[in-house]
Amino acid sequence: MPVKPEQLRGVLHKGLAPVYLVSGDDTLLVTEACDQVIAAARGQGFSERSVHHVDTGFSWHSLSQDAASLSLFAERKILDVRVPSKKFDKDASAMLRDWVAHSGAAGDTVLLLRTERLQPKQRSSAWFKALDKDGVVVLIWPLVGQEFPRWLQARLQDRGLQLQADALDYLAARVEGNLLAAVQEIEKLALQELSAPISVEAIAACLEDTSRFNSFDLVDAAMAGDAARVHRVLQGLREEGVSVFAILGALTSQLRRLDQARGLPPARARAIQLFSQRSRIPDYQWLAECAVVDQLAKGVGIGNPWISLEQLLLAMAGVTAMRRPSVYQRLLRRR
């Protein structure tokens, strides 16, 4: 039966199936789904687990042999099989269909298959249909659009963490949809025991405390009109592996709060005041320039996102000879 990842826990509570197939490109989500299956099986007495890696020379018939050879101390076994998607060949098809057809023997064995994303042709094959009918199939798709922020919010809540809205946006931009990186960053935050709701400044200070600079140092330099420091800090952040998206997250957060300087550190409040006095274009236009850089970083448009980001920051710093990224984009399209 087809099961969504968020439905798997409930399905497992109803009882075990003879075979599970977990397929997807995101290693974290695939691993977590498989861990749920293993935990449920162990809770029902499947105390032994053997791991098989399907590579050159692997025999699918060896799984049947393994299933029949229980140790002296175990009555039930989990066969954890890691299969590259291209390795579902004729032998695999025959073995899997036979396994499902004789699933009565699976009362003491659970077969768990984990693989990458399967192609449409594979999902219409006889072996897949057999698993889909009598086993449990979990297809894990990439998180798109607002699915990632919702997933991130749920993970934060699970760890007892509450973030301000702009802090959540900043964290989402920092990890760029990388779920494993997101979990690592959430664990860092959990260890800090920060006051809730966590602000964007607090989260930046926590997650970038090993860096020589952080993204807000860069934003402060741009708003204070210090062009030389903009260049130096941006170069430092790039060398340290900070992403364009993380910097844009900090920048857009500050641009949306230009009229809310109260409560900020004095130096930052002063930088925002100087920028507001110096800037000749509305706040929303600066945000539109950020959107141009964001699109370049996602591969939409012409040019290098790092160069465009520096152009934007220098323009914000008051370098009159520097045009905004949108202007350069228009000039490039005319060529």
- Tens of pLDDT along 295-313? 999 888 788 999 999 999 9
Residue 22 scores a pLDDT above 90: yes
| Whole-number pLDDT of residue 72 | 55
Can you read off the two tokens belonging to residue 181? 């990186």
| Whole-number pLDDT of residue 315 | 92
Residue 32 scores a pLDDT above 90: yes
**Alpha carbon distance 182, 177 (integer Å):** 8
| Whole-number pLDDT of residue 263 | 62
Would you place residue 103 in the very low, low, confident or very high pLDDT band (cuts 50, 70, 90)? low
| pLDDT tens-digit readout, 68-80 | 776 555 578 899 9
Where exactly are the structural domains of the chain? 2-140, 147-334
Residue 228 scores a pLDDT above 50: yes
User: Which run of H or of E encompasses 50?
Assistant: strand 48-53
| pLDDT tens-digit readout, 239-270 | 888 889 989 988 998 888 887 766 666 777 78
Select from 141, 54, 62, 132 the least CA-distant residue to 95. 62
Fold assignment, 2-140: Rossmann fold (3.40.50)
**Percent of the chain with pLDDT strictly greater than 70:** 92
Average pLDDT over residues 175-180: 79
Select from 24, 74, 14, 12 the least CA-distant residue to 49. 74
| Whole-number pLDDT of residue 138 | 96
| Whole-number pLDDT of residue 105 | 41
Would you place residue 104 in the very low, low, confident or very high pLDDT band (cuts 50, 70, 90)? very low
For 56-67, b/e burial (b = at least 16 CB within 10 A) is eebebeebbeeb
Residue 274 scores a pLDDT above 80: yes
Among the ranges 30-44, 90-104, 134-148, 200-214, which has the highest mean pLDDT value?
Answer: 30-44
Question: Exposed, middle or buried: residue 333 (CB in 10 Å: 0-12, 13-18, 19+)?
Answer: exposed
Q: Right CATH number for 147-334 from 1.10.1740.10, 3.40.50.970, 1.10.8.60, 3.50.50.60?
A: 1.10.8.60
The gap between the terminal CA atoms of the chain, to the nearest Å, is 55
Task: Please state whether 263 falls in left (phi above 0), alpha (psi between -120 and 50) or beta.
Answer: left
Report the range of poorest mean pLDDT among 44-58, 67-81, 152-166. 67-81
Residue 106 scores a pLDDT above 60: no
| Whole-number pLDDT of residue 142 | 83
DSSP for residue 163: B
